[in-house]
Amino acid sequence: MLLPPVAYLVLLAILGFIVVLAQIARVPGGFILGAVFALGLFGIGEARALAMVTVVVASSLAAIGIAGTVTLWRHGVALSDLKTHVAANDGRA
């Protein structure tokens, strides 16, 4: 299902507002619930909306993880070094 280009701008504004509300209200999964609701406003079924949101969230987390790992690697920090540092400090930074 394709939405008109203006609908994507409206979705962007709604989802940005939902992110802020979810942070203020401390609602676990608030973005996912809000995104499914917002997509439902445009006639997308709950199952399809949940699948879309899950793919977006998973790809976002994967991108952050990959970028962080590459950045640590380029600076010469290995994940084993991080574990050793945490163990040596009893979990303190």
pLDDT digits (tens, 9 = 90+) for 11-25: 888 888 888 888 888
Q: Give residue for tokens 């507002």.
A: 17
pLDDT of amino acid 92: 63
pTM: 0.66
State the residue range of the domain holding 50.
5-88
93 in a structural domain = no
Q: How many residues does the chain have?
A: 93
Pick out the chain residues at pLDDT < 70: 1, 86-87, 90-93
pLDDT of amino acid 70: 92
Count: domains in the chain: 1
27 in a structural domain = yes
16 in a structural domain = yes
